């Protein structure tokens, strides 16, 4: 059993939890994920690690309550327990294994969309801890959906905000802001690391390929069981079949077949809808019984 020691709301239907899991916290590295099983009836939920504290023995997750399982997680509070927390899983970000002096020579830009800001934070913090300033773009549909702004700003060299509706920061999508920084402002980047919705990462890569900037993406959105056994996260990368959970979750974005990945992401929509309807019905029955 794994205790929830802290919970707070970040935005509508988006919440953050700190979970007591010392062994996971002690081994976690940027880019990795964990699997959470809420209770005996719960399914496996792969979630990228938002933060980890080796001294406190905690790992942080950010969850957007959309489907049945994440809505169930949203009902848990401080002091409650999850049945299982497994990890860290997946391969760490490539720069973790690189020579630090070579990493310092690169100018890096992170691009986060929506809850993608969560896995971006520990990566940006890693760079700051190694004396490297990186720029960060955080994008959201509207100002109310921007999360972790203060945390990311505390470790970023420069933070840029973009909102689709122009309610805060740059008026437009993250791709427009990237183009503005590189083309109009003349900023140079050797590497872009983009994490967020699949469709966002696809268009970021289309742009950065045109701009000639190497781009890494995280394919965590298509993971299901997190072990490679279900095959749901199969993806073609450079004409080779990879599994996001065991071979990634990070890959060269210019080699990813995003159209295939986007189709794969929708394959369980009917089951998800049925499960969500069942969950709503169960909650209504329980509410009526009180």
State whether 26 and 68 are in the same domain: yes
Q: Is residue 16 part of a domain?
A: yes
Same domain, 78 and 15: yes
**Domain span holding position 56:** 2-89
What tens digit of pLDDT does each residue of 264-280 get?
766 555 545 544 545 44
Residues 8, 132 within the same domain: no
Give the β-pairing of 158-163 and 135-140.
Answer: parallel
Residues 214 and 164 in one domain: yes
**Shared domain check, 109 and 77:** no
123 lies in some domain: yes
Q: Of 259, 268, 255, 258, nearest to 225 (Cα)?
A: 268
Mean residue pLDDT of the chain comes to 87
Residue 287 forms part of a structural domain? no
6: which strand partners?
Answer: 18
**CATH number, domain containing residue 51:** 2.40.30.10
Give the residue from 89, 116, 143 where a domain finishes: 89
Residue 194 contacts residue 205 (beta carbons within 8 Å): yes
On whether both 184 and 239 belong to a single domain, the answer is yes
Say if 29 falls within a structural domain. Answer: yes
Number of domains into which the chain is organized: 2
Boundary of a domain, candidates 70, 89, 108: 89
List the strands of the sheet with 45-48, edge to edge: 45-48, 33-37, 84-89
pLDDT tens column, 44-73? 888 889 999 999 999 999 988 888 888 888
Question: Nearest Cα to 202, choosing from 149, 148, 251, 147?
Answer: 251
- pLDDT mean by block of 10 residues, the chain; 290 residues: 94 93 93 89 86 93 86 91 91 92 95 94 96 96 95 96 95 96 96 95 96 94 66 82 83 92 67 49 43
CATH number of the domain encompassing residue 186: 3.40.50.80
The Cα-based distances of 126 to 29, 116, 216 in angstroms read 9, 16, 16
Residue 196: closest CA among 88, 70, 64: 64
- Residue 174: the pLDDT is 97
Residue-wise burial string across 112-135, b where 16 or more C-beta atoms lie within 10 A, e elsewhere: bbbbbbbbbbbbbbbbeeeebebb
| 196 part of a folded domain | yes
* pTM for this entry: 0.87
Kindly state whether residues 142 and 155 are assigned to the same domain: yes
Question: Residue 45: its pLDDT value, please?
Answer: 87
Which pLDDT does position 221 carry in this prediction? 75
Single out the residue of 123, 151, 127, 130 nearest to residue 250, CA to CA.
123
Strand, coil or helix: 249: coil
Return the pLDDT at 69: 83
**Shared-domain flag, residues 238 and 254:** yes
Indicate whether 133 and 79 sit together in one domain.
no
Q: Are residues 137 and 41 in the same domain?
A: no
């Amino acid at each position: 059993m794994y205790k929830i020691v802290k919970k707070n709301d970040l935005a509508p239907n988006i919440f953050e939890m700190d979970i007591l899991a010392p062994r996971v916290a002690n081994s976690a590295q940027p880019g990795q994920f964990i699997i959470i099983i809420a209770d005996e009836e719960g399914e496996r939920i792969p979630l990228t690690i938002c933060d980890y504290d080796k001294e406190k023995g905690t790992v942080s997750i950010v969850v957007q309550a959309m489907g049945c399982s994440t809505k169930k997680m949203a009902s848990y509070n401080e002091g409650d327990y999850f049945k299982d927390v497994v990890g860290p899983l997946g391969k760490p970000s490539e720069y973790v294994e690189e020579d630090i002096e070579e990493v310092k020579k690169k100018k890096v830009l992170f691009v986060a969309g929506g809850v993608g800001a969560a896995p971006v934070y520990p990566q940006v913090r890693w760079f700051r801890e190694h004396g490297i300033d990186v720029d960060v773009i955080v994008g959201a549909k509207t100002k109310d959906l921007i999360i972790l702004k203060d945390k990311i700003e505390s470790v970023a060299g420069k933070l840029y905000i973009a909102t689709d509706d122009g309610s805060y920061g740059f008026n437009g999508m993250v791709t427009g802001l990237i183009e503005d920084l590189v083309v109009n402002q003349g900023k140079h980047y050797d590497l872009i690391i983009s994490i967020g919705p699949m469709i966002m990462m696809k268009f970021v890569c289309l742009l950065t390929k045109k701009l000639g900037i190497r781009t890494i993406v995280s394919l965590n959105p298509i993971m299901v069981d997190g072990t490679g056994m279900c095959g749901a996260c199969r993806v073609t990368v450079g004409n080779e079949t990879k599994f996001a959970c065991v071979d990634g979750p990070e890959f060269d974005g210019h080699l990813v077949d995003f159209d295939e990945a986007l189709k794969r992401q929708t394959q369980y929509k009917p089951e998800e809808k049925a499960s969500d309807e069942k969950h709503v019905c169960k909650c209504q029955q329980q509410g009526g019984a009180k």
